[in-house]
Amino acid sequence: MTFKKNLFHTLSLSLLILSSGQSLIAQQTTVTLKADQPSGQISKHIYGHFAEHLGRCIYDGFYVGENSKIPNTAGVRNDIVAALKNLNIPNLRWPGGCFADRYHWKDGIGPKDQRPSVVNTMWGGVTEDNSFGTHDFLNMCKLLGTEPYLAGNTGSGTVQELADWVQYVNFEGRSPMSDLRVKNGQEKPWEVKFWGVGNEAWGCGGNMTPEYYVGEYRKYATFMEGKNLYKIASGANGDDYHWTETLMKGIPLNMMDGVALHHYSVPNWDKKGPATGFTEQQYFDTMKSALRMEELITKHTAIMDKYDPKKKVSLVVDEWGGWYDVEKGTNPGFLYQQSTMRDAMIAGATLNIFNNHSDRVKIANLAQCVNVLQAVILTSGEKMLLSPTYHVMEMYKVHQDATLIPVEVKTADYVFGNEKLPSVSVSASKDAAGLTHISVVNVNRNKEEEIQIDLAGKTYKSVSGRILTAAKVDDHNTFENPEAIKPAAFKAAVLKEGKLKIKLPPFSVVVLELK
């Protein structure tokens, strides 16, 4: 009896230890890197940007005018050009946004002193003098080494107006529009590939129903004639799956190259909260909204797959990012906000989602580039700073046009109150030089995360990396201290026997390079 009793206690203790161990393991994040199962290319165009005639994005942002004391090329700030070239930005969307369906492109060509002034009724009620127009934007894209993405006016414009714009910028032969382009100083066409057929047709672009917009799209797209045009339909707002279903059902696939999707990390549109000095509840809710991008892409993709199983039509997330209350003392219509480590979390986690869905997501545009919403660059007179979001996109540029490596992630949870979120987000790729890059984000505001990565299918000899983090989650760069937050070398990575172990501080982004 004693032997049996001791055996029972031993087995019970073993089960208790095993159960406890399993519980502990369940709380640790484990990642399996499937290096032997490459999964297609991550389009560089996922890393696109957005420049709207909104607040100080164009004027007093990108464009300061040729007579400015700030060093510029044809009125465009040289420091902004250099900073964006360092990101390898692949495309830049313009002139909106909601401004696009109020914009008449012929107002912005010809001698600048002869261009009409209009009121920007959408953003702040300020006077728009049209000194920055089609030539200015497309020549700026040349400076940046990026592809332009023009958003056409299908709201207050006409079919002829948009057809003329396509001909003006793209047609090389003799025609009324190409002759006008040459008269205005541009002999060769710019050959613009990406075209948005309206913007937010469900809202500021005309308050259309999806059924009505299908007819409008088909009409406008028919007369947008030219070679190699990539036509993008105005897509859904968040979880409006009926919109996507209606477009995919009603527009022939040979007439459409992309369907847009807009989603901002905003838990409450009526009370967005501050960009700095936010509570943990506000942080948690914002990250919950940001991580919802996974669900939105998955469900919209499932609808698109029904009508387009070969994935010929791209999902184009051409507006995404954080949106908060404007900074005190600024014009509410200018959408100027500070960018903190919270925004770095949004950027890192969202880009990981895009990478992992790169079979369908081919283009995306962070909103916006300079001085508006989740900007990568802020300016004040001659001063310029790079935001935490800028640094994430610079760290992640290694994924552009690289081959996706699938990852399987079992993550610990970030628990707040009665809710929880996955703490860790991961994506990985292999570049043309054969280097493997793994981007890892810990959105947990309070806890360091220990992560074990199983490097299945390939042997690596060395690991290096960079990290972006700070003392507080609402820390940010200022014009007085513009480099308070910037990437640093990451040394808490141990590579041994096919396993990679790392420790990520709270609210941090790491990009690892394996050789």
Cβ atoms of 250 and 211 closer than 8 Å = yes
Average pLDDT over residues 67-83: 98
pLDDT of 1 over the 50 cut: no
Q: What is the mean pLDDT of the segment spanning 332-361?
A: 98
pLDDT for residue 239 is more than 50: yes
For range 271-288, the mean pLDDT:
97
pLDDT at 511 over 90: yes
User: Is 13's pLDDT higher than 60?
Assistant: no
The terminus-to-terminus CA distance of the chain in angstroms comes to 60
pLDDT tens profile 297-307: 999 999 999 99
DSSP labels, 247-272: HHHHS-GGG-SEEEEEEEE-S-TT--
- Binned at pLDDT 50, 70 and 90, residue 256 comes out as very high
Per-position b or e across 100-110, b if 16+ CB within 10 A of its CB: bbbbebbbbbb
- Could you read off the pLDDT of 394-406 as tens digits, one per residue? 999 999 999 999 9
Q: What's residue 14's pLDDT?
A: 38
Is residue 53 pLDDT above 90, yes or no? yes
Segment 102-122 mean pLDDT: 96
- Could you please report the per-residue DSSP string of 425-476? EEEEEE-TTS-EEEEEEE--SS--EEEEEEEET-----EEEEEE--SSTT-B
Asked whether the predicted pLDDT for residue 232 surpasses 80, the reply is yes
Task: Give the pLDDT mean for 65-89.
Answer: 98
Q: Is residue 149's pLDDT more than 60? A: yes
When pLDDT is cut at 50, 70 and 90, the band that residue 12 belongs to is very low
Does residue 64 surpass a pLDDT of 80?
Answer: yes
If pLDDT is split at 50, 70 and 90, which confidence band does 9 have? very low
Q: How confident is the model at residue 27 (pLDDT cuts 50, 70, 90)?
A: low
Q: Could you tell me which residue, 25 or 345, shows the higher pLDDT?
A: 345
The pLDDT tens digits for 423-482 are: 999 999 999 999 999 999 999 999 999 999 999 888 999 999 999 999 999 999 999 999
Mean per-residue pLDDT, 488-504: 94
Radius of gyration of the chain (CA): 25
Q: What distance lies between CA 148 and its chain's CA centroid?
A: 16
442 vs 371: CA distance, rounded Å: 27
Average of per-residue pLDDT values in the chain? 94
The enclosing H or E element of 347 equals helix 341-356
Higher-confidence residue of 471 and 2: namely 471
pLDDT of residue 8: 39
Specify whether the CB–CB gap between 509 and 345 falls below 8 A.
yes
pLDDT value for 106:
98
* Residues labelled catalytic: 200, 319
Token digits of residue 115:
């261009």
Inter-CA distances, 462 with 32, 81, 491, Å: 18, 35, 12
What local confidence, expressed as pLDDT, does residue 19 receive?
35
Position 28 scores a pLDDT of 81
Q: Provide, rounded to the nearest whole percent, the portion of the chain with pLDDT above 70.
A: 95
Q: For position 457, what pLDDT does the model report?
A: 81
- What average pLDDT does range 244-263 have in this prediction? 98
CA–CA distance, 72 with 81 (Å, rounded to integer): 9
pLDDT computed for residue 108 by the predictor: 98
Q: What is the pLDDT of residue 24?
A: 33
- pLDDT (0 to 100) of residue 306: 98
Instruction: Quote the pLDDT of residue 456.
Output: 81
pLDDT digits 0-9 by tens, 173-227: 999 999 999 999 999 999 999 999 999 999 999 999 999 999 999 999 999 999 9
CA proximity to 48, closest of 491, 282, 332, 396: 396
